[in-house]
Amino acid sequence: MKLDAIKDPQLRAKILELDRIQNPNRRILGGLEAKKPQPNPAPPLAGKSLQFKSGKKGVGVCVTLCSHRRRLLDSHDNLRSSTKPLVDAIAKTIGLDDADPRIVWQYHQLQTKGREGVVVTLERL
Q: What is the DSSP secondary structure assignment for residue 57, as one 8-state letter?
A: T
Asked if 43 contacts 93 with a C-beta cutoff of 8 angstroms, the reply is yes
Q: Are residues 82 and 30 in the same domain?
A: no
Q: Are residues 28 and 76 in the same domain?
A: no
| Phi, psi angle pair for 33, to nearest 5° | -85, 140
Range of the domain at 83: 61-124
> Is 66 contained in some domain?
yes
Q: What is the mean pLDDT of residues 68-89?
A: 88
Q: Are residues 81 and 116 in the same domain?
A: yes
Total number of domains in the chain: 2
pTM: 0.53
> Is 70 contained in some domain?
yes
Confidence of residue 8 (pLDDT cuts 50, 70, 90): confident
pLDDT above 60 (res 68): yes
Q: Are residues 67 and 117 in the same domain?
A: yes
pLDDT above 90 (res 66): yes
> Is 40 contained in some domain?
no
